[in-house]
Structure 1
């Protein structure tokens, strides 16, 4: 089956009852925030649960979906397309949804989806991602073409959104061979020393307030850092080199998130980077829509190096369901999940859903 076309999606949307649009997503990742934000903006919600309804939603009644659809696996989400369409659903994709449904299925999925699906091709392929970011003027860590040439600290990363799982540091070819899984596509980047900041943006093609671009507006919604297992605790046991003798190797699996406010003098560069990435996206694939995150390192020279982009809502925004220090200066209690719902609500009112879904 070929990728679903924008024209087909719009034909489906034309049949929707615009007074009964429902917001749907998979019960994982940032779904509590998405459902909560949708409810605040007046939408009914649909939780897609794998195997069974998660019990923990009962503990958060303001974020519990109005209804659940149970499937046995992520692949079976493809079998409930008609059911979602009958409910006037707009799907909000998050990291787990896209990673586990799979690129091919996501592109063929017939349910109207918030954002531009074409971004996935540029985000999930490390070479295309680098082309996009560097052509937008973003500085990135150097790419190492041959593992045999590793003679300084590097970070080895696999393609796709995996919450840091499988990433590892190597300082030479011998360490690379110990850690690598040759069955997966990987990229080798120089390891940059500095502080890591995950910058949460929202781009609206239909809103003309805020930080103006050539078309639409850009918002900074929040910033986080990430707790990672086991790298964040290994220092307590001594030298990593010594620990490797005992078979203990650092890993970067994200287990939680920590709020951050960046020094104010860096905000201008934060907005410049976000704006240039969005502007370049118009040229490459018709434009990015909604939330995205520039995953960056700030060096002791106060220079940014962006090592990755996530072109959808990231789990770090879960810190700010009641709003962040930045959104507090835009609108009280504005989370990323609520901002997505607000964009859908505004697009319905302006008859501009074609600008924000695919």
Structure 2
């Protein structure tokens, strides 16, 4: 099968691959730019940016300052080529500020999930930016599309469908995750396309979850998807922001090390077993004070651990206190390599 290009709004890439955002600091300027230079859509993770100490007293402004720096750096590294975008979690307390800052920096696209991005078009206004909601069911998509049309006369420019085998925060209950086959990507696509047809949205639909090879991409294309979003497989890319000790932790892990726990965000989250996760699974709670207030849905008095602190530990290589978000396909992570090596496998 010839791997097609991908067009979203007025943006186009040689290959139908969006690199997932992946915070904290995994999806950095270097990874996003390398993806664009290799022929995909490059995405900057907007969560957990800024100087750690300064963020304790000025979280919003510090996040904005570093986001601006990352966007400009990514554009410089890819010589102004497009498309460079950001991933913005709805659960973030500074969601509006991040979106508005991204728009002011003339970002090409915004991916938004970890909640329903109902107010996203309001913060974008009439800016020429592609809006890509992340959903896990036709029902969720209908809520988003109906609200966008009614309130803002705006339709999505593409849809990312996250299946139950995705990494990170999941749009499924624990009961649904016990029956993943009933919510697989092939079963989700018809209901998503039906909603798009109902609201006259002729836009690309991308699959996300356990995609790690050309064969996986070809399978999604044969099902009727227009492309894919890939996260876990790019975690160990040379350009990804993690410390090498964390990348090696992923490579040494296997699919048997993958578990689902409850995140402080309030959603199930798929992660690798680690010293921190083992403590969480035993019911231990890490007492902490929260100077950031980065998540609207996090209650520091009840949360089992600080997710910001845990993800920063992953970024810095402190594997004892790290949270390693992952999809189900950890076995596919064999080595640290340039992201270009993967895209080379998609060439004819």
TM-score (norm 2): 0.28
Greater share of residues in strand: 1
